[in-house]
Structures are given as structure tokens and as C-alpha cells.
Structure 1
Amino acid sequence: MKPRLLFVCSRNQWRSPTAEEIYRPDARLEVRSAGVSGSARHTISQADIDWADLILVMVPTHKRRIIECFHDSELPPIESLDIPDDYQPMDAELIDLIQAATEPLLIRLLS
């Protein structure tokens, strides 16, 4: 079974959808994206939490928000990629940052 990664940012508009798009073709994984804001394109849900083996948030405040909102749930590991909200979707620098932060976590997850 492939590990399932959930990428999370604030509004699920730029960072997490970019991460989902670049990792969707990766045969090692299954991926989804969501946002923590009520105005997100897709707001993180209990179904997303239950589906994920690993949640990758863009900044630590996203992790705190998930823990706060789903405090009664058994949460999968949550790691911050530490990527600020300074980029447009599919920006080359954003892609590089996502891959540089995600790959070491994937190596650990897949080993």
C-alpha cells in the first residue's frame, strides 16, 4: 500500500495544491491537499485526517490549527515544511522548496 500524504496550507489555493500537483504523478505515493481556513478551496476534514499517513503543513501555525480543530482525533504525524506564503501556484522556487523539504521526509517514510 502506498503512503498517503496530505499537504496543507491556509486556503488550499497556492502552496498545497502545488505540492499535490507535483507529487500526484509520483508512483510511490497517494496525495491530497487541503486548507485550514474556513474559506479554503477544500477545508481539511475528518475524512482527510483519517485518510492520511502523514500530514505536511506549510508552516507551524497550520499544525497548531489542525491539532486544535481535531484534538479528539487520532492524528497521523504532522511535519512542517516551513514554506511561507510568498509564492504563486507552480512558481519554480516554490516547487524547489516543496521538493527540498518533502524528499527527506519521504525517504524516511518509505524506508
Structure 2
Amino acid sequence: MTRPLRVVFVCAQNRLRSPTAEAVFRDMEDWEVTSAGTNRDAITPLSRDLLEWADVAVCMEKRHRDIIRQRFKGTLPDDRILILGIPDDFEFMDETLTGMLHRIVPTRLESVRPRETT
């Protein structure tokens, strides 16, 4: 039996976009989701432990991926850090944002599988 895919959604402050993604996909079958922010004063700051837990980091913007690469080098391979290209223009649970997430995220994660553990 395969364990659920562990997904961490990442934005800057962990106040609007990534918590929305976490809420949207919280009940997704075969996924465990959480969210974090790249800023040190984020509600839930991104950490090495969180990235080691995750199978994939889903970043709202390219700059979030760049921060992961710089600050947490080697924690996740590049093919496990996805960029959605969603700008910081939305409020929490904004209808346009949730629609974008529903359209983009499942397709992007179709081929991602849980990492092998040793």
C-alpha cells in the first residue's frame, strides 16, 4: 500500500495563496497537504524539516522556488519543486484563485509519486 502524496504549498507570507491551496486540497484523496511561507515572519515559516517531509513543494511564484534552492539546497530535487505562476493578487479563498488551483494543481501533480523511503 502506497502512502499519500505529501504536498507543501509555498508562498511568501503563508497568509493568502498557500493557505487557500491547503484548504482547497485538504480533503483530496491520496494527498496530505500543508502550507508554509518563505518569509521568516510567515505564519508558518518554511523549514528544512517540512521540505524533508514533503514529496513535492508547489510554489506560487518562481522566486519561492529560488529561495528553496538557495536556503534549503539539496532538500528536494528540482523536479519536485513546481511553480504555478500565481501572483500575489488574491485574498484568502478568492473564487478566481480557487478556480485556478483546481485547474492547475491536479494536472501538475499527476505524475508525482511519493518518494521512496529507506
1:98 aligns with 2:101: yes
Instruction: Find the aligned partners of 1:97 and 1:89 in 2 and give their Cα distance.
Output: 13
**Alignment match, 2:45:** 43
Q: Which runs of 5+ in 2 are unaligned?
A: 114-118
- 1:2-26: CA deviation from partner (whole Å, max 9, x where unpaired): 1100000000000000000010111
Give how far 1:109 is off: 2.1
TM-score norm. by structure 1 comes to 0.93
RMSD: 1.1
Instruction: Find the aligned partners of 1:70 and 1:28 in 2 and give their Cα distance.
Output: 26
Partner residue of 1:59 out of 51, 56, 61: 61
Instruction: Find the aligned partners of 2:69 and 2:91 in 1 and give their Cα distance.
Output: 27
Superposed structure 1 runs of 4+ greater than 4 Å apart: none
**Alignment match, 2:11:** 9
% same residue: 35
Instruction: Find the aligned partners of 2:17 and 2:81 in 1 and give their Cα distance.
Output: 16
Instruction: Find the aligned partners of 1:96 and 1:2 in 2 and give their Cα distance.
Output: 23
Partner residue of 1:80 out of 69, 80, 83: 83
Across the two proteins, how many residue pairs are aligned to each other?
109
TM-score norm. by structure 2 comes to 0.88
- The answer to whether the Cα contact below 8 Å between 1:83 and 1:98 also exists between their aligned partners in 2 is no
